[in-house]
Amino acid sequence: MPNPLNINDAADLVDVAIQDIWLKGSERQTFYNQYFNVETGVQDYYLKDSSLSGLGLAGRVVENAAVTSQSPVQGFDKTYTQVQFGVILPFTKHMWMFGIKKRNLENVVEEAKKTIEDKRETLCADHLDNAWDTTYSVNDISGNYTRTITGGDGLSLIGTSHTREDGGAAWVNEITDGTTVNMDFEYDALKAAVRTASRIRGPTGKPLNVSPDTLVVARGYAPHLRALEILGAVNKGFIAGSADHDGAGVSAYKVIALPWITTNTAYWFMFDSSMKNNRYGLQYKESQPITLEGPNKVFKTGEIQYKATAFFDLGFNDGRNIIGSKNTNAT
């Protein structure tokens, strides 16, 4: 991108032979807050959370015996570090006067805010696009860097060996029917998703009662389109792709179709929306909302500058409310 934008870089804006010029910005639609728990007003550079479990099951007490003692279990820590994201949009004085203002295109400066909105959506979706990874590479205008995306147990969002806080058997949030793992998105896989969620245990091994009701997929790809077909059948009480007269064995669910998943577009996820809170699931922590600053005028050149910035971090401590599949049907 030219820096600053000058007449040679956008000559159409000062061409009197062109009567109509419009701003072709991308449309605004918010997705991240549909599957991330959002916390704003964070005041600390570092925000660290942890947890303390409840108790396990009570025990039988025979006559004249002492009641067996039990203690809560310490949970895992997760630190969120506020990161600044931003962009500067500069114009030469000539371009601003004879191109932007003359054409009534001052709203172009709002696109600076949109770049951060889109960056936020991308970073949030990256947690699903890389749900089986602990790190991934980010490419942006400031250069490439590596993001670590592990939970409080130091593991990836989706996996088969999540550490249980009391040292008991690991819990699994990778979708399986007991034989096939990472099931492809079909009606039987939805039933397997319910099975997988029901087997997730809390810190002391008790059933956690995870009830997935929301599906997250890449927009326009096979899982999304098949989900619409299955949901249409389920809403009528039918079994998708079957002539059986039994009622649908899964409940209706909400579909979040993300345009921001661009690599692993076959992946699909479900989560329990009642557990989208500050304890479970993906977390977005914001200390400064997206803010537009300007105009700033450079005295020597007359250059006009607008700047948009925000401070936030995102991640998760405990992903027990989310289950996922790579859509590979492995055994």
Assign residue 271 the CATH number of its domain. Answer: 3.90.1690
Mean pLDDT (the chain, rounded): 90
Mean pLDDT computed over 155-184:
96
Say how far apart CA 119 and CA 306 lie, in whole Å: 18
Instruction: Say yes or no to pLDDT of 296 above 60.
Output: yes
Give the angle subtended at the CA of 137 by the CAs of 133 and 138, to the nearest 5°. 125
On whether residue 233 sits in a domain, the answer given is yes
Mean pLDDT computed over 104-113:
82
57: nearest Cα among 185, 182, 168, 204: 204
What is the model's pLDDT at position 1? 47
On whether residue 23 sits in a domain, the answer given is no
Residues 240-290: pLDDT tens digits? 777 676 667 788 899 999 999 999 999 999 999 999 999 999 999 999 999
pLDDT-based confidence at residue 7 (cuts at 50, 70, 90)? low
On whether residue 96 sits in a domain, the answer given is yes
Say how far apart CA 46 and CA 27 lie, in whole Å: 33
Contact partners, residue 163, CB within 8 Å, separation at least 6:
76, 153, 154, 155, 170
**What spatial distance separates the first Cα and last Cα of the chain, rounded to whole Å?**
48
On whether residue 56 sits in a domain, the answer given is no
Total count of domains within the chain: 1
Residues 45-78: pLDDT tens digits? 999 999 999 999 899 999 999 999 999 999 999 9
What is the model's pLDDT at position 13? 53
Mean pLDDT computed over 201-229:
95
The strand pairing partners of 146, in sequence order, are 137
What is the model's pLDDT at position 49? 94
Length of the chain: 331
- Contact between residue 2 and residue 9 where contact means Cβ atoms under 8 Å apart: yes
What is the model's pLDDT at position 82? 97
135: nearest Cα among 118, 144, 143: 144
On whether residue 39 sits in a domain, the answer given is yes
On whether residue 271 sits in a domain, the answer given is yes
DSSP state of 238: P
What is the model's pLDDT at position 242? 75
Element (H, E) at 326: none
Residue 58's CB is within 10 A of a number of other CB atoms, namely 9
130: nearest Cα among 263, 312, 259, 315: 263
What is the model's pLDDT at position 106? 77
- Contact between residue 319 and residue 154 where contact means Cβ atoms under 8 Å apart: no
Which tokens sit at 213? Answer: 């009701």
On whether residue 66 sits in a domain, the answer given is no
Which tokens sit at 268? Answer: 């699909």
Domain range for 180: 7-14+29-50+78-325
Is the sign of the CA dihedral 179, 183, 184, 187 positive or negative?
Answer: positive
Instruction: Say yes or no to pLDDT of 166 above 60.
Output: yes
Instruction: Say yes or no to pLDDT of 228 above 90.
Output: yes
On whether residue 173 sits in a domain, the answer given is yes
Contact partners, residue 308, CB within 8 Å, separation at least 6:
86, 87, 89, 112, 113, 115, 116, 290, 291, 292, 293
